[in-house]
Structure 1
Amino acid sequence: MRPSLRIGLALTASLSQAQDLTQYVLTDTGDTGGGNTFPGVSLPLGMVKLGPDLYTGSDSYSGYQADGDFIGFSMLHESGTGGAPKYGVVSQMPVLGDIENPLSDQSINRSVADETRLGYYKSSLVNGITVELGATGRAGMFQYVFPEDSGASNVIVDVSHVLPSYRGQGLGQSYLGGNISVTTLETGVRYVGSGSYDNGWNRAPEWTVYFCGNFEQNATFRTFLGADAENDTLVDYSDATSQASEVRLGAVFTFNTTEVTSRVGVSFISADQACHNVDTEIPAGTSRETLEDDVKTAWTDQVLSKVTTTDTSNTTKLQLLYSSLYHLLLIPTNKTGENPLWTSSEPYYDDIFTFWDLFRSGTPLLHILQPVAYEEFIRSLIDIWRFEGFMPDARSSFFNGATQGGSNVDNVLADAYVKGVRGAVNWTDGFSAMLTDAETVPPNNNDSRDTSSSTKEGRGALPDWIDLGYITTKYGRSVSRAIEYAGNDFGLYQVASGLGLDSEAEKYLNRSRQWRNQWNPDLTALNFTGFLGPRDEDGAWVDQDPLSCGGCYWGDDYYEALPMEYSFNAHHDMATLIDYSGGSDAFIARLEAMFEGGLSDSNSQFNYTLFNPGNEPSFTTPYLYNFVGRQDLSVKHSRFVADSYYSPTPAGLPGNSDAGAMESWLLWNIIGLYPITGQTTFLIGSPWFADLTIDLGGGKSLVVTATGGDDEGAIYVQSLQVNGAAWDKAWVAWEDVFADGGTLDFVLGSEPADWATGEAPPSPATKTS
């Protein structure tokens, strides 16, 4: 081990002990303004995410809204998702006074803003009730304080409670049935049961959650049944100890005390397992403060301490760093041991939203920061293929979907393979799973958003891709799928090459170049000629404005991004793309056109006209200047995107978090590198801190230092040393700084410098066959 790496690891250990890194985690970052993040309580990749559910008449994707009325506090949520809400199940709702009908509207507003910090959540209701929450991986705690002399203290357990959706399109969750049984204990009450539901953003069929709840105080109770799942008419409201039905049901617990504590476990296997989860993770008598301390310790040891710095002068930067690390690791969910569909010795991960969002910068960062979990994640993806026939591009409640573009799980596997992930991964099966995506047309699931082919899994437009070498307007998202299919096939080339499968490697390398067949050399915009464009079913070009994508939705030719944005996305074949764009100078001019009009003279505003920082197809674009000798412009634009669109505030994201995708982009910006997924290449940016140590696991670390960057605006690289040697390339490889650790020593200044005079970053698909 290099001496500098030993110093870096020692520094990491001392810093994590000396600093309380949790103070910089603002759990409400991005929970308003469309960020949709979850501000409640969760462990890293934890199954339980305990938090509030609020109603405003619009979708509450993570359950949370800054305004509106509380309709419950539930055990399961996701973070940063869109499409439609998911989960919001296993709920409790505190209510004062006599309850004539628990199915009627029990919603209520807050009296003050909710209080949230790592491991803790508190809501204060206008009727004087306070709710405090704590959680473990598979259990949670509710602590209620009811006001004195305000009537009975009640908690409603509504098995039929889900997060509602108002978008239609068959995405809204439905309650399908359940059961609940109540047992009075010597001290307290226990209730067990299950609820079955469907849909959410991935259009899942029926899935079942089991619960086991404990109240530590004595209570009387009444169970209830409704007329059906859609209205609030009571059929039965009695002291029956058990109810089971396809209609709404639950129980009301009434206490003669103002302080009530509830401990609840959940499971997707059985009620017995839910009871085991709560009894082992939150035994009777556990304090909420203990849970909070345990959550802080888990996040510190497993996540926050992986990235440390001695440069603590700027609190805002520290909050952005550690809050982003937090939100990156909320999902996917580690449900190993909780998969009801099959028995396997492999790990199981769920709640993947979505590889279309995550493959560019999210999963490469997960690999670096969580190598053990990442290997398990890869194994889980392959195991899903073994039992279900396709790997997921998105998955939740044990069901694949929705696939927005290509089979981008192939990019994720390719990235893991070329960066040396081996361990217990069966790469023969892994490549077979990738071959399924590349060669097998998935059955059409007749999604109303796009009935042309499957949105559940795989590549629905394969018939055109295989037979024609491009994708026609017969299929929704034809152009954006074509550029993604090309990247997916490049992923197969990478893995086939590594496995010594020469004929397969050659085949998929050639197919990865088929994006060129989607390049219309006659499309024009902003005085530039040549863009990715649609072709009709006869192969003829369709006229297209490169600055418009129509509805930018499932049935359109481009999904959630402009043709001009997608026209920068052949990252495996950049030399060809630059040539098609008119050469290096023209390519620089095209990139500049994406950002024109954004910078004011004072740099106090930044309002790009075409570049969309909330669009994942634009994530890599600011860094593409590195391919054409203008690394300084990569720094200029990427740094100003970060400075202008991100802040450690509730509205501090440029758009939907997309399960940590936005946060991962920012984290790479902070580090001063950017990954090209499926390759070993990292494009060089500009680091934020004077020093940053990244624990890579296995006794290895990457230490990044920067001198000369103390002054505002001193963001441009003047020189760089990699592992102590002068460096003249605008990129590094995995082997340089990550495989065995390494050092990056930057000198920064306020003016651009022509330091990156070496060879351009690789363009591996451009070589002749």
Structure 2
Amino acid sequence: MGRWYTMLVLSLLEPAVRAANLTSHVNLFLGTQSGGNDFPGVARPFGIVKLGPDLYVSGTDSYSGYLSNGNFSGFSMMHEQGTGGAPKYGTVSQLPLVGDVSNPLSNITIGRSGADEASVGYYKAKTSEGTLVELSASAHAGIYQYTFPKDTTGNILVDVSHVLPSYRGQGLSQHYKGGNITIFHDGHYEGHGVYDNGWNRSPDWSIYFCGHFDEAPISNKTYSGTDAKGSVQQSSGHASSSSGSTRVGAVFTFKDTTVISRVGISWLSTEKACQNVENEIPEDTKFQSVVADAQSEWDSEVLSKVTTSNTNETTLELLYTSLYFMHLIPTNQTGENPSWTSSEPYYQDIFTYWDLFRCSTALMQVLQPVAYEEQIRSLIDIWRFEGYMPDARSSNYNGRTQGGSNADNILADAYVKGVRGAVNWEDGYKAMLKDAEVTPPNYPVDPMAPDSSTKEGRGALPDWLSLGYITPRFSRAVTRAVEYSCNDFGLYQVASGLKKEDDATKYLNRSRNWRNHWNANQTSLGFSGFVVPRNESGFIETDPLNDSGYWGDPYYEASSWAYSWASIHDMKKIIEAMGGDETVLDRLNTMFTEGASGSSGIIFDPTNEPMFNIPYLYHYINRQDLSVSQSRNIAKSYYGVGVSGLPGNSDAGAMQTWLLWNMIGLYPVTGQTTFLIHSPWFDSLTIDLGDGKHLNVTSKGGDGNGGGDIYVQSLRVNGKDWKKNWLTWDDIFVRGGTLEFELGESASGWFTGEVPPSPAS
């Protein structure tokens, strides 16, 4: 009886013990170097606070604050995750200093001693002066634990004017515009700063803070001054400035060796900032309890959504680290919207839907259906109050739109996959119509693309509406044309569901307008037919191998080799235009052939999102086996567990979600209910879909680690033999389901059903 009871207790405890260990598989430094720009600091899922170090190296942008070298300029409360373009935030900063601080507002930096350490909910660094800095955070507040060297005077500099700078020369560096700090009689301090710019070119925005030290300082002083000149002490305990030329801050000096600092932030007021820290990290909170709470929240809300029988640590690290980084942004700022009052949820720090619509948002719906519905509602609410949905948004400001109005794709994807709840779809469709029909004002003018708005909407609509294509009078013309086609297909999907038949016909026809950029005579490497720039006189010749560009060019961050595949809703037509299945097979193979372009490397570019779909397009010519081999080779060759483990910018987790879909064995076709079937990495994988539903994916014959035998020999879906190389949302996600793979060492020809749909064809 006793032995049986003990075994029962252990079996009941096992899932909890296993879940508690999932955070141990998260590597916070994965992808922090070589352009991955992952944020390794502390945060909660979708939390406002992202507390971490800011490293300074002259001439080097620290996009998420972190660099592997350089000096500490501060430890600040706000960062983005995995962004490129230019740094954002680095605001509400503290910096520990030892000894006499004669000029605190002179851009002081302190060296690093040894390597930083991090785990979920915890960050540790040591300064060259010997001060140990430990960090943790809740959603709206952060906690610092400082351990100063013995027999020294410890100081903490609170620098209101601290931001992450940019050195790229693109006019995107942030600026401090003014602010204040007040130290009260009980020792706590409050204030706010005003800042502008960053990668989304936002105008002035304010953040408020409220800080406490749980050990009484022996002195405190507020300062105001300029970077280059001596600071002026303010005897009143208050310092303020109305312009960025005068900086403000405070220095707190302690005799205690260990000092706890608790700080709340708010977009609304210092009062709300004080409420946030009091509610989430009140006085006498133990530092370790905040760490434990953070780990528990990540376990229960994110990591435990996916469980596996796999025991290979490398694969588990890739799996759970990817899950972690895809949940840092967008930021859930509900209740903290300074721009308007609404009962709707509010999410911002969207970087960017140009990156995320391809496969990230589809996975967010699978893993976080409640939060995802809130994010859809928030997009629609932003349209209600600002006139347009964002393609990107930060510091409560839309911008920058790189290609199409890709929130339209996301709304369409959510609609066809049954997101309803409290979503007002009539308003959602009106928001999409605004993108499709009304040219946004070109203000403020973006000097990198001055022809039309990069803030929101579709700046090249005048050509799109009058000509059905986009001329070079508009920058990024080809990129915009293929993306506007996808956006219009999204309108067709929602219009059809809402029984707006005339609109559905209109936008289905417009979704085919990418064809107006198709030059059948444009050649490259012996292949004919590419999307190219054009004007009223005809097509403009290009070099598909070398025409990838930037803001002012016809192709944005990818070549015509990539963008010629982009209109996946019309794939049957693309295959026909390229010359049929055999030519498409050769053309796809060429993209993955080393040296095919005459130089080292391959045409396929794993570092940027426009290529994400391409390894899976073999499905459309019934060669699922090649989709498996090419995508698996990309995953294994370009992703890893090291600090350089990402092929390019994380872009808010876009890279990580591409890898996660590869692990699962599916790939989403955004705007449709279609999922392309490839091959799972694991013997067993279970995804918690919410409401007691699960997707169980099993495989036999592989090595359980994404290597070895990868080719599908047979598949059963929900217990039945499955011959199509694709399935739909309804098949396995609405009620849950099972996928049972049999894998082998070579292609089997198992998939004999029809190829995936091409609705616009």
Mapped contact 2:103–2:231 kept (Cα < 8 A): no
**What are the equivalent positions in structure 2 for 1:235-274 lying under 5 Å apart?**
235-245=231-241, 246=243, 247-274=246-273
- What residue in structure 2 maps to residue 8 of structure 1? none
Residue from 89, 92, 95 that aligns with 2:91? 89
**Aligned-pair CA distance for 1:311:** 2.2
Matched to 1:547, the amino acid is L
**Aligned partner (choices 703, 709, 730) of residue 710 of structure 1:** 703
Q: Are 1:665 and 2:663 counterparts?
A: no
Q: Conserved in 2, the CA contact under 8 Å of 1:225 and 1:234?
A: no
Q: Counterpart of 1:89 in 2: which secondary structure?
A: coil
Code of the aligned partner of 1:96: V
The within-5 A match list for 1:181-200 is 181-185=182-186, 189-200=187-198
For these two proteins, the number of residue pairs brought into alignment is 740
Q: Which residue of 2 aligns with 1:23?
A: 24
Q: Deviation string for 1:212-259 (max 9, x for gaps)?
A: 0001111111111113xxx33235224321111122001011111221
Q: Secondary structure at the match of 1:627?
A: helix
| Corresponding residue for residue 110 of structure 1 | 112
Please list, as runs of the form range in 1=range in 2, the aligned pairs for 1:630-709 lying within 5 A after superposition: 630-709=623-702
2 CA distance for matches of 1:724 and 1:193?
A: 61
Q: For the structure 1 residues 381 and 174, does the alpha-carbon distance in structure 2 shift closer, same or farther, using more than 3 Å as the test?
A: same
Map of 1:748 onto structure 2: 743
Q: Which amino acid aligns with 2:738?
A: T
Give 1:482's aligned residue.
Answer: 481
Give the match for residue 181 of structure 2: 180
Partner of residue 6, structure 1: none
Question: In structure 2, what is the Cα distance between the partners aligned to 1:252 and 1:195?
Answer: 17
After superposition, the C-alpha distances for 1:253-288 in whole angstroms (9 at most, x for unaligned) are: 111122111000000000000000001100111111
Query: Quick one: distance in 1 between partners of 2:636 and 2:125?
Result: 32
In the TM superposition, what is the alpha-carbon distance from 1:540 to its structure 2 partner?
1.6
Distance 1:580 1:713 in 2: 36
Q: Distance in 2 between matches of 1:515 and 1:117?
A: 46
Q: Is the 8 A contact 2:508 2:760 kept in 1?
A: yes
Aligned 8 A contact 1:702 1:743 in 2: yes
Q: Residues 571-606 of structure 1: CA distance to partner in whole angstroms, max 9, x if unpaired?
A: 00000000001000101111001000189xxxxxx9
Pairwise CA distance, 1:608: 4.4
In the aligned structure 2, how far is the partner of 1:598 from the partner of 1:725? 43
- The 1:618/1:364 distance shift into structure 2, 3 A limit, reads same
CA 1:608/1:568 → structure 2, altered by over 3 Å: closer, same or farther? farther
SS of aligned partner of 1:471: coil
Partner AA of 2:18 in structure 1: A
Instruction: Provide TM-score, normalisation by structure 1.
Output: 0.95
Q: 1:52-75 deviations in whole A, cap 9, x for unaligned?
A: 000112110000000011000000
Bigger drift between 44-53 and 606-615 goes to 606-615
1:233 paired with 2:229, answer yes
CA deviation after TM superposition for structure 1 residue 17, in Å: 4.2
Identity %: 59
* Letter paired with 2:440: P
User: 1:563 aligned to 2:560?
Assistant: yes
Match of residue 3 from structure 2: none
Distance 1:581-1:763 versus aligned 2 partners, 3 A rule: same
Residue deviations 1:701-758, cap 9 Å, x none? 1100000002842011111011111011110101111111111000011111111111
2:179/2:240 contact within 8 Å kept: yes
Distance 1:175 1:741, change over 3 A: same
* AA aligned opposite 1:385: W
Q: Residue 307 in 1 paired to residue 306 in 2?
A: yes
Identify the residue that residue 500 of structure 2 maps to in structure 1: 501
- Give 2:5's aligned residue: none
One-letter amino acid of the structure 2 residue matched with residue 657 of structure 1: S
Task: Measure the CA separation in 1 of the matches of 2:273 and 2:600.
Answer: 50
Aligned residue number for residue 358 of structure 2: 360
Q: Indicate conservation of the 8 Å contact 2:667/2:676, yes or no.
A: yes
Show the 5 A alignment for 1:117-266.
Answer: 117-150=119-152, 152-185=153-186, 189-219=187-217, 220-227=219-226, 231-245=227-241, 246=243, 247-266=246-265
Structure 1 alignment gaps of length 5 or more = 1-10, 600-605
Contact 1:221/1:239, CA 8 A, preserved across alignment: no
Q: Which amino acid aligns with 1:739?
A: V
CA drift at 1:685: 1.1
Distance (Å, rounded) in 2 between the aligned partners of 1:615 and 1:754 = 32
Using a 3 Å threshold, how does the CA distance of structure 1 residues 374 and 122 change in structure 2: closer, same or farther? same
Q: Please give the alpha-carbon distance, in whole angstroms, between the structure 2 residues aligned to 1:257 and 1:282.
A: 21
Q: Return the TM-score normalized by structure 2.
A: 0.96
1:456-504: CA deviation from partner (whole Å, max 9, x where unpaired): 0000000111100111111000001100000000000000000000000
Deviation sequence 1:8-56 (CA, Å, 0-9, x none): xxx9996454341111111111111100010000000010000000011
Question: What pairs with 1:273-422 in structure 2 (closer than 5 Å)?
Answer: 273-312=272-311, 314-422=312-420
Residues 12 and 305, structure 1, Cα contact 8 Å, conserved in 2? no
**Alpha carbons 1:12, 1:308 under 8 Å: kept:** no
Secondary structure of the residue aligned to 2:410 is: helix
Query: How far apart, in 2, do the equivalents of 1:441 and 1:85 lie?
Result: 29
Residue 572 of structure 1 aligns to a residue in which SS? helix
Q: Deviations over 1:627-660 (max 9, x none)?
A: 1011010000100111111112211000000010
In 1, Cα distance between the equivalents of 2:13 and 2:687? Answer: 11
Task: State the SS of the aligned residue for 2:94.
Answer: strand
How big is the alpha-carbon RMSD for the aligned residues of Structure 1 and Structure 2? Answer: 1.5
Give the residue type in structure 1 aligned to 2:74. G
Q: CA deviation at 1:310?
A: 1.5
**Counterpart in the other structure of 2:758:** 763
AA aligned opposite 1:433: A
Q: Alignment partner of 2:77: what SS?
A: strand
How many Å separate the matches in 2 of 1:682 and 1:586? 24
SS of the residue corresponding to residue 213 of structure 1 reads strand
Alpha-carbon contact 1:43-1:295 (below 8 Å) kept: yes
Q: Aligned pair in 2 of structure 1 residues 632, 444: CA closer, same or farther (>3 Å)?
A: same
Letter of the 1:609 partner, please give it.
Answer: I
Q: Choose the corresponding residue for 1:728, options 723, 728, 734.
A: 723
Contact 1:575–1:763 (Cα < 8 Å) also in 2: yes
Deviation >6 Å, runs of 4+ = none
Amino acid at match of 1:591: L
**Secondary structure of 1:257 counterpart:** coil
SS at match of 2:184: strand
8 Å contact kept, 1:29–1:648: yes
Shift of 1:170: 2.4
- Check whether the contact 2:55–2:74 (CA below 8 A) recurs between aligned residues: yes
Q: 1:65 corresponds to which residue?
A: 67
| 2:143 counterpart SS class | strand
Paired letter, 1:248: R
For residue 102 of structure 2, the aligned residue among 94, 100, 103 is 100
Contact 1:34 1:655 (C-alpha < 8 Å) held by counterparts: yes
Structure 1 residues 40 and 235, CA gap change in structure 2 (3 angstroms): closer
CA contact (8 A) 1:16 1:308 kept: no
SS at match of 1:381: helix
- Tell me if structure 2 keeps the 8 A contact 1:15–1:308: no
| Distance in 2 (alpha carbons) for counterparts of 1:448 and 1:621 | 32
1 CA distance for matches of 2:215 and 2:595? Answer: 60
| CA distance in structure 2 between the aligned counterparts of 1:126 and 1:14, rounded to whole angstroms | 43
Amino acid at match of 2:564: S
1:376-399 CA deviation, whole Å, 9 max, x = no partner?
000000000000000000000000
Pick closer, same or farther for the CA change 1:203–1:12 going to 2, 3 Å: farther
